[in-house]
A and B are shown apart, each in its own frame.
Chain A
C-alpha cells in the first residue's frame, strides 16, 4: 500500500516538477510567468503533433526523442512569445501570462480534438513508460526507484542539473543577480535581455515536457482533449513557492504534492467529500511557506527581489 502510494506520488509529482523547474528559471530571471499552465498545454500539444505525425513510421526510441523535441519546440516558442512581450515590449507580466494561459488551453483543446487518435496514442504510450522494463517487479525498492518512464528520470536529472547550475556556475549567479537587481547586473556588464530571453525560453521548454509527460506516461495516452493540464500548471506554480525557489526541494516537494493529489483516489475507504479536502493541502502548505518565509525574512528563502517588475534601463 505504502509503496504504491509513493510510486504514484512520484509519477504524479513529475508533472508538477517539470512545470516547477521551468517556472523557477523564469522567476530567477525576475519574471513571474503565469502562462505556465498554458505553456504546459502547448507542450502537450507539440508532443501530440509529433506522435500523430511520426507515430506509425518510426521506432519507439526515435518517437520518444521526436515528441520530446516537438514538445520543447512548441512550449519554447510560447516562452519566446512571452519573453518578446514582457522583455522587449515591456508588457505587464501578469496580463501577458494570463493571456498565454487562456490561449494555451484553447490551443490544446482545439488541436488535440483534431489530431488525437486514442488507439494510436494508447498503443504508443508504453514507449514512454517503463524505461528499465521493471514495472511489474514486486520488490518495493525496484518499484520506487526503477519502475518509471524515461521522463520521470529526465525530470529528476533536470532538477539536479538546474540546482547545480543556479548555485555553482557563473551563469547561474548572473541569472540570479538579474532576478534580484537587473540594474546592478546591467551595470556589471551582463546582457540582461539576452539572459532573460534564454532562460525564460528554456524554462518554458522544460515546463512543456510536463504536458507531454502527462498525456503519454501518466494517463497512458488516454487523455488529452479533456485533460486538466492547466490545473496541474497552477499546482506547479504553487510548488515553486512551496519549494522556496530551490530545484532540489522542488523534487522532494513534487512528491509531497503528487501524494496529496492522488491520495483521494487511493483512499477508497473515505467518503467522497473527505477525499476532496486533500486538494486544499498543497495550496494551504504553499500559503504557509509563503507567509512564514516573509515573516522570518531569512535571506535565502525570499522570492527574487525584482520578481514581476519590469526593467527598463533608463528608469531611475
Chain B
C-alpha cells in the first residue's frame, strides 16, 4: 500500500551544473541574444513604428560605415577589458579602470602640455617616452592603493576602486579648469598648433596603433593567464584564498602584483589616449571602463573570447547610434537602452548554463519513495 506523503515537494529543484558542454552553452547564449533582439525589435517597432527587420538592417549597415573607428573602439574597449581581467579572475572586483585610465591620461597630458613649454628643445621621442612612464606610474598608483589596503586590511575593494574613479574624475575637472585659461572646461586638442609635440607618429593612419597594441596585449594576457606561474597563482587565489595560502602562495603579494599589472595596462591605454587617440582629456576618456567590465564578464574573463564580446558591444553601440540618427531618435540614449536589454538577457541566461533545473514530477517522486 502506498503511504501518503504529508510533505509537499517543491515544484522544481535547482542544482549546480559544472560541466555544461560548450556547444549547449553557446546555444543557450545565442538563444538569449535572439530573444533579446526580438524584444528590442518589438520595442523599436512601437517607438519608431518601422519594420524591425528594416531597423536591424540599418543597424548592420550603420555599424560598418566607419570601419576604422569601429575597429579602433573595439581595440580600446578590449584593452580596458584586458586591464580588469586578471583582477576579476582573482575575484578582486576592480571597478576602477575608468579612474586608472583617467589618471594615466592626465599625467601624460600634463607632460605633453608643460614639458615642451619648459624645455623647448626636448625631442619628441624623449617626450613620448616620458609621457608613457608618467601615465603608467599614475595608473599604477591608482590601482595599487586599493590593492595594498585590500591585502593588508581587507578594505572592500569594490567600493574603494569605485570611489577612486570619481576622485580621478574630479581631479581631471580641476586640472582642466586650471590649465585652460578660457574657462570653457574644455582643454582642446593639446599641441595641435605647437608642432604636434608628444603626438605619437601615425602608422599609415591614426587608428592602427591602438589596434596593434590591443592585439599584442591580448596575446600577452592570454599567455600570462594560461601558461605562466603568475597566471596560475591568480586563478588559484580566485578559486580559494585558503587553498592558495596552504600551497604557500603569498596572497598579499599576488593581489598587489596583479593590480600593478592592471595599472600597467591602464597606463598604456591612458598614454594611447593622450598620444594617439584623442590628444586631450575629458570625461569620455574613462567612459568605457564600466562597459569593459560587462564585456570581460561576458567573455568569462578569457582574453581571446573578449575579442568577440568587445566587438559585439561596439557593434551594437555603433549600430544603434546609427539607427537613432536615421530614424530621428536621440543618439546615445537609444543605444544605451538596446545594450541594456541585450545584457539583461545574456546575464539572465547564464543561470541556465551554470545551474540545472529538475522538475519534480509527482509520480516519479512517489515511486522513489515506494522504492525506499
User: Which residue numbers of A lie inside 8 Å of B, CB to CB?
Assistant: 32, 34, 81, 84-85, 88-92, 94-96, 98-107, 109-110, 113, 234, 237-238, 241, 272-273, 276-277, 279-280, 283-284, 286-287, 290-291, 294-295, 297, 303, 307-308, 312, 314-315
Residues of the B chain whose Cβ atoms lie less than 8 Å from the Cβ of A99? 294, 340, 343-344, 347
Q: Which 7 A-B pairs have the closest CB atoms?
A: A106-B336, A103-B340, A89-B351, A273-B177, A109-B333, A294-B155, A110-B333
Min distance, Cβ A187 to any Cβ of chain B, angstroms: 18
Residue of A107, A241, A283, A294 most packed against chain B (CB within 10 A):
A283
Cross-chain contact A106 with B156 (CB below 8 angstroms): no
Residues of the A chain whose Cβ atoms lie less than 8 Å from the Cβ of B351? 88-91
CA distance A101 to B290 in the complex (A): 10
Min distance, Cβ A76 to any Cβ of chain B, angstroms: 17
CA distance A314 to B170 in the complex (A): 44
CA distance A84 to B351 in the complex (A): 11
The interface on chain B, measured as residues whose beta carbon lies within 8 A of the other chain's beta carbons, has a size of: 50
Min distance, Cβ B327 to any Cβ of chain A, angstroms: 12
Cross-chain contact A91 with B350 (CB below 8 angstroms): yes
Can you add 12 more A-B contacts, CB < 8 Å, to A102-B290, A290-B156, A303-B159? Answer: A94-B95, A99-B340, A103-B340, A106-B339, A110-B333, A237-B159, A237-B162, A276-B170, A276-B177, A283-B166, A286-B163, A287-B164
Cross-chain contact B339 with A294 (CB below 8 angstroms): no
Cross-chain contact A110 with B329 (CB below 8 angstroms): yes
Min distance, Cβ A109 to any Cβ of chain B, angstroms: 4
Shortest Cβ distance from B343 into A: residue:
A99
Residues of the B chain whose Cβ atoms lie less than 8 Å from the Cβ of A100? 340
Cross-chain contact B294 with A95 (CB below 8 angstroms): yes
Cross-chain contact A105 with B336 (CB below 8 angstroms): yes
Cross-chain contact A106 with B333 (CB below 8 angstroms): yes
Cross-chain contact B163 with A276 (CB below 8 angstroms): no
Min distance, Cβ B8 to any Cβ of chain A, angstroms: 16
**At the interface, yes or no: B188 with Cβ under 8 Å from chain A?**
no
Q: A-side binding surface: helix, strand, loop or mixed? A: helix
CA distance A276 to B179 in the complex (A): 13
Residues of the A chain whose Cβ atoms lie less than 8 Å from the Cβ of B166? 234, 238, 283
Cross-chain contact B170 with A113 (CB below 8 angstroms): no
Shortest Cβ distance from B291 into A: residue:
A102
Residues of the B chain whose Cβ atoms lie less than 8 Å from the Cβ of A91? 347-348, 350-351
Cross-chain contact A303 with B156 (CB below 8 angstroms): yes
Residues of the B chain whose Cβ atoms lie less than 8 Å from the Cβ of A102? 290-291, 336, 339-340, 343
CA distance A131 to B177 in the complex (A): 39
Cross-chain contact B330 with A113 (CB below 8 angstroms): yes
Min distance, Cβ A305 to any Cβ of chain B, angstroms: 11
| Interface set, chain B 85-143, CB cutoff 8 A to A | 93, 95
CA distance A283 to B165 in the complex (A): 9
CA distance A103 to B156 in the complex (A): 26
Min distance, Cβ B140 to any Cβ of chain A, angstroms: 18
CA distance A56 to B334 in the complex (A): 29
CB within 8 Å for A110 and B337 given contacts A90-B355, A294-B155:
yes
CA distance A238 to B158 in the complex (A): 11
Cross-chain contact B341 with A103 (CB below 8 angstroms): yes
Residues of the A chain whose Cβ atoms lie less than 8 Å from the Cβ of B347? 85, 89, 91-92, 95-96, 99
**At the interface, yes or no: B167 with Cβ under 8 Å from chain A?**
yes
| Among candidates A237, A283, A291, A307, residue contacting B167 with C-beta atoms closer than 8 Å | A283
Cross-chain contact B337 with A106 (CB below 8 angstroms): yes
CA distance A88 to B343 in the complex (A): 17
Min distance, Cβ B312 to any Cβ of chain A, angstroms: 14
Residue of B153, B154, B291, B334 most packed against chain A (CB within 10 A):
B153
Min distance, Cβ A303 to any Cβ of chain B, angstroms: 5
CA distance A84 to B344 in the complex (A): 11
Cross-chain contact A283 with B343 (CB below 8 angstroms): no
Residues of the A chain whose Cβ atoms lie less than 8 Å from the Cβ of B354? 90
Min distance, Cβ A209 to any Cβ of chain B, angstroms: 22
Residues of the A chain whose Cβ atoms lie less than 8 Å from the Cβ of B156? 241, 290, 294, 303, 307
**At the interface, yes or no: B3 with Cβ under 8 Å from chain A?**
no
Shortest Cβ distance from B331 into A: residue:
A109
Q: What are 15 of the A-B contact pairs (CB < 8 Å)?
A: A34-B95, A81-B344, A84-B348, A89-B351, A91-B348, A91-B351, A94-B158, A102-B291, A107-B336, A109-B332, A238-B163, A277-B174, A280-B167, A283-B163, A290-B159
Residues of the A chain whose Cβ atoms lie less than 8 Å from the Cβ of B21? none
Cross-chain contact B336 with A314 (CB below 8 angstroms): no
Residues of the A chain whose Cβ atoms lie less than 8 Å from the Cβ of B339? 102-103, 106
CA distance A128 to B344 in the complex (A): 34
**At the interface, yes or no: B149 with Cβ under 8 Å from chain A?**
yes
Residues of the A chain whose Cβ atoms lie less than 8 Å from the Cβ of B333? 105-107, 109-110, 113
| Interface set, chain B 176-217, CB cutoff 8 A to A | 177-178, 183, 185
Min distance, Cβ A40 to any Cβ of chain B, angstroms: 15
Cross-chain contact A276 with B174 (CB below 8 angstroms): yes
Shortest Cβ distance from A112 into B: residue:
B333
CA distance A284 to B167 in the complex (A): 7
Residue of A89, A106, A291 most packed against chain B (CB within 10 A):
A106
CA distance A262 to B273 in the complex (A): 32
**At the interface, yes or no: B2 with Cβ under 8 Å from chain A?**
no
Shortest Cβ distance from A297 into B: residue:
B153
Cross-chain contact A308 with B340 (CB below 8 angstroms): no
Residues of the A chain whose Cβ atoms lie less than 8 Å from the Cβ of B344? 81, 85, 99, 103
Cross-chain contact A314 with B16 (CB below 8 angstroms): yes
Cross-chain contact A92 with B297 (CB below 8 angstroms): yes
Cross-chain contact B183 with A279 (CB below 8 angstroms): no
| Among candidates A89, A92, A106, A295, residue contacting B340 with C-beta atoms closer than 8 Å | A106
| Interface set, chain B 211-260, CB cutoff 8 A to A | none
Cross-chain contact B174 with A314 (CB below 8 angstroms): no
Residues of the B chain whose Cβ atoms lie less than 8 Å from the Cβ of A85? 344, 347-348
Shortest Cβ distance from B183 into A: residue:
A272
CA distance A284 to B169 in the complex (A): 12
Residue of A90, A96, A98, A105 most packed against chain B (CB within 10 A):
A98
Cross-chain contact A95 with B155 (CB below 8 angstroms): no
Min distance, Cβ B5 to any Cβ of chain A, angstroms: 21
**At the interface, yes or no: B271 with Cβ under 8 Å from chain A?**
no
CB within 8 Å for A276 and B173 given contacts A94-B293, A294-B153:
yes
CA distance A104 to B339 in the complex (A): 11
